[in-house]
Amino acid sequence: MAVARPVPLQRPTTPLLPALSSRSGVFLPTGPVNIYTGMTRGTLSDSRREILRTAARLFQERGYDGASMQDIASALDLSKAALYHHFESKDEILFEIMSYGMDIFEERVLHAVRGIEDPEQRLRACIERHVQLVLRGRDREITVILHENRALPAESGRQINARKKAYIVYLENLIAEVQERHGIQHPASAAVHPRIAAFALLGMINWMYQWYRPEGAIGEEAVIQQYTALLFGGLFARATVHEPQSRR
């Protein structure tokens, strides 16, 4: 029985989104501004960051709908009025958490690897740093809470999704560049399309918080090595066409 060749996905020819600009090969937003307060990311105070970390932990534990402004204030030993002095609404807190999480990601992953000239080493570094960001440190809740973007109002949701899409585009193009270095000149000739590989990689890494336990048998370094091996093991395979079996 013949197996039809899958319709190839097309690599984006214009990867920039309207609100994005190119910065040393990394596609990032042009100075995101809080739509609620007009504050840029660089103006967050230490007290606001602590509120965001605490709210992120509560949203992770109880869900966005299950944590109230009173719950956040109580966890911080603040009055509700004091909390409203910093943030006008729970929607604003969620938007700030996601924006802050994206800031951390861009700083610790994208900005950290953009000076690596070799695309394969840059991709390996992306995997390593992304895994470390999810598994390490007090900002883990901030990273995890990015999955709550459906609770955001439409306009703020579009801002966050644009920043996420920018990384997917960057990762897809980087994967395609690595494939080209190994003689795969067009995505249609690869067994794994760069876009599918990018989504698969992000899914694997972003889902780790559901199953990873620091005290478990699988350590952080093992996760990095095996995720890298899994991705690179499929990237360089070439697409095959199955010929129909002859009838006897």
Tell me the angle at which helices 154-181 and 90-105 cross, rounded to the nearest 10 degrees: 20
118 part of a folded domain: yes
pLDDT at 236: 75
Q: Is residue 27 part of a domain?
A: no
Residue 120 lies in a domain: yes
- Domain holding 99, by residue range, is 32-235
Would 248 be classed as within a structural domain? no
DSSP 8-state assignment for residue 23: E
CATH at 135: 1.10.357.10
| Cα end-to-end span (Å), the chain | 13
6 belongs to a structural domain: no
Q: What is the pLDDT of residue 29?
A: 36
What pLDDT sits at residue 24?
30
Residues of the chain scoring pLDDT < 50: 1-43, 241-243, 248
Query: DSSP characters for 97-120?
Result: HHHHHHHHHIIIIIHHHTT--SHH
| 153 part of a folded domain | yes
Task: Please check whether residue 4 lies inside any domain of the structure.
Answer: no
Q: In this structure, is the dihedral angle defined by the CA atoms of residues 98, 100, 104 and 107, taken in order, positive or negative?
A: positive
- Split into its structural domains, the chain has a count of 1
pLDDT 10s digits, 124-182 = 999 999 999 988 866 667 776 777 777 888 888 899 999 999 999 999 999 999 988 88
50 half-sphere exposure, CB direction, 13 A CA radius = 9
Residues 6+ apart with CB under 8 A from 139: 53, 101, 104, 133
With contact defined as beta carbons under 8 Å apart, do 56 and 75 qualify? no
Residue 16 counted as domain residue:
no
